[in-house]
Amino acid sequence: MHHIAIGRRGAPGVVFAHGWGRSHRDFIPTAEALAPVARAVLPDLPGFGATPRPEAAWDTGDYADAMAEALRGGLVDGPVVWVGHSFGGRIGLRLAVRHPDLLTGLVLVAAAGIPRAQPLVEQLRGRWRSRQFRRLKARATDQAALEALEDRFGSPDYVQSRRDGLRDIFLKTIAEDQSADLRRINLPVTLIYGGRDTETPPDLGRRMANAIPGAEYVQLDPCDHISVLDRGRHQIALAVKEKLVAQVAP
């Protein structure tokens, strides 16, 4: 798995896991801010950046198991604070339940994991669009026409997943509802959401925080799903540092 490491060797470990369609680069400034106090590892998750995709269509549990294997294999010494953005947050939630011995804390940044609460109007609009999509798809005569329809109706991540050859994984992971896992998490957890995020809106973050025992919820009003990585980087770094300090001085 391709990754970079930033920070002092021997310092407590942090893994920064990027979101769907993104790469390790998203978290470099945050890892640099923490360099004097942490050993940060920033992987390209399988299928993204410079890491090839898995042969099978993985779900988030498979991703978590692969990361657990890498961690046990010496990717970082000792248990880590897991920082996950969006899709990387989904993997963090799975790790916290399946491999809790590997984590000392979770920082979920605009993390996905549970279904969005959609207002009725939005639900109806969604159903109508999806019916229209299916109807037009049935009439499509060739691949080009099909792809043009996808571009018109699909979310940016859905469209991108075809270009990246990850459609199977996308469809498998996007539908996962990790609600049942949330109350089983027994770690210090901070959830950070942008007030202007339309992909993982603040309401979703608050519901996840309410379901995770003892979790802390932070809202950054001016940020959206992506700018939370840049404008919110100091808050992310702070949440990580607090977990590292708590770990050193219990």
Partner 1 sequence: MIGAEAGRDGRRNVAVIFGGASQEHDVSVVSAQQLMDAADARAINVIPVYMDFENRLFTGPRLRDVSAFRPRPGGLREVRFNWGDEGPELLGKGLRLPVDCALPVFHGPFGEDGRIHGMLELIGVPVTGFSASGSAIAMRKDATKTLVKSVGVNVLDSVAVNRHQRGNMGAVLDEVEAKLGLPVVVKPANLGSSIGVGLAKTRADIPALLEYVLRQDDLALIEPQVPNLVEYNIAMMWRGGEVVFSAIEQPKSGAELLDFREKYLSSGGTKGALPSEGMLSLTREINPDLPADLKARILDYSRRAFLILGARGAPRIDFMCNRATGELWFNEINPIPGSYGFFLWEAAEVPLLYPELIAHLVDEAMGASVKRFDDPVPQGAWLLPR
Q: Which residues bind partner 1 (CB under 8 A)?
A: 29, 32-37, 216, 218-222, 231-232, 234-235, 237-238, 241
Name the minimum Å distance from CB 166 to partner 1. 29
Containing 103, the helix (H) or strand (E) segment is strand 103-109
**Residue in the block written with tokens 């991540």:** 157
Q: Which lies closer to partner 1 via its Cβ, residue 35 or residue 148?
A: 35
Whether residue 73 contacts residue 52, with contact meaning beta carbons closer than 8 Å, is answered with no
Query: Is the separation of the CB atoms in 132 and 140 below 8 Å?
Result: no
Q: Extract the tokens encoding 45.
A: 């998750």
Nearer of residues 47 and 232 to partner 1, judged by Cβ: 232
Q: How far is CA 235 from the centre of its chain?
A: 17
Q: Which residue has the tokens 């294997």?
A: 69
The smaller minimum CB distance to partner 1, of residues 131 and 234, is found at 234
136: its two tokens: 């037009």
Closer residue to partner 1 (CB): 32 or 164: 32
Q: Residue 192 Cβ, how far from partner 1 at the closest point, in Å?
A: 8
Provide, rounded to whole angstroms, the least separation between the CB of residue 218 and partner 1.
5
Find the shortest distance in angstroms from Cβ 32 to partner 1. Answer: 8
